[in-house]
Amino acid sequence: MAINWFKYSAPTTFYGLAGKLIPFFAWPAAILFAYGLYIGFFVAPTEATQSEAYRIIFLHVPASILSMFIYLIMAGYAALGLIFKTRLSSMMAQALAPTGALFAFISLWSGALWGKPMWGAWWVWDARLTSELILLFLYLGYIALQASIEDPRRADRASALLAIVGSVNVPIIYFSVKWWNTLHQGATIKMTGTSMHIAMQQAMFAVLIACWLYVIAVTLARVRSIILEREANTQWVNDLPEVKQANGGQQ
């Protein structure tokens, strides 16, 4: 079995592959979202101290986890692109950034909705909230830098460097709970086991995996657009059936 993996590191071949893969991630994502949210909202028992308001964690926790994880993956792709000069890696990094920013925003927003009934305030200057906000700023800085450089090669390499420098911040987010003793509750899911009800676990992991699949599907779709945008002047793009159809009457 000798599969030439490098075949798919070329935008030309990856464009088609990504298009075929999207449904395999998008549909399971939709089903798992529905399943996880159903369990979370209707099956999981009411929590002893937080009553119904705790149910927002089924969205909040997966969004927070992914917002941090996407940054690392983005920085990883950016580093690959910077070191090996593989164009597709840089495009993947660029495609991941808006989704990462979206999850950071969802995490902050749902956290605020949870904080109001629990802490009596929409926002507290707790270490984890603040780090998540900084993470959102890092995403926005990355997107802004990428957008303001016209030459795509320089944009890729400059934003890659920024992503790598910024990823120094992600560990600080993770360990901030231990560094500063603040209002935010400590981790409930530990490596040695958890104090959560089984239905709550199920719901949370279902939504987590759903979010994960959603990220992959959306990133593949976005990377296809980026490939089309950057390779717009090449013959193979103009030979694509969908491009021909769009250009339709002109040719």
Partner 1 sequence: MNKLSLMGLFGLVVRRDLLLAMRRRADVLTTLIFFVMVVSLFPLGVGPEMDMLRKMASGVVWVAALLASMLSLPRMFSADHADGTLEQMMLAPQSLSVLVLGKIVAHWMLSGLPLALIAPVLGLQFDMSPEALWILVLALLLGTPVLSMIGAVGAALTLGLRGGGVLVSLLVLPLCIPVLIFGAGAVEAVTSGMSVASNLAFLGAFMLFALVFSPFVAAQALRISME
Interface residues with partner 1 (CB under 8 A) are 130, 134, 137-138, 140-141, 144-145, 148-149, 154, 157-158, 161-162, 165-166, 169, 172
| Residue 93 Cβ vs partner 1, minimum distance, rounded to whole Å | 15
Considering beta carbons, is residue 111 or 166 the nearer one to partner 1? 166
Give the span between the Cα atoms of 112 and 121, in whole angstroms. 8
Give the span between the Cα atoms of 153 and 165, in whole angstroms. 19
Where does residue 152 rank: exposed (0-12), middle (13-18), buried (19+ CB within 10 A)? middle
Structure-block tokens of residue 102: 């979206």
Structure-block tokens of residue 109: 């927003």
Considering beta carbons, is residue 107 or 219 the nearer one to partner 1? 107
**End-to-end Cα separation, the chain, in angstroms:** 43
| Residue 232 Cβ vs partner 1, minimum distance, rounded to whole Å | 23
Structure-block tokens of residue 227: 């490939």
Helix, strand, or coil here: 186? coil
| Residue 86 Cβ vs partner 1, minimum distance, rounded to whole Å | 16
| Residue 50 Cβ vs partner 1, minimum distance, rounded to whole Å | 29
Considering beta carbons, is residue 144 or 189 the nearer one to partner 1? 144
Considering beta carbons, is residue 53 or 161 the nearer one to partner 1? 161
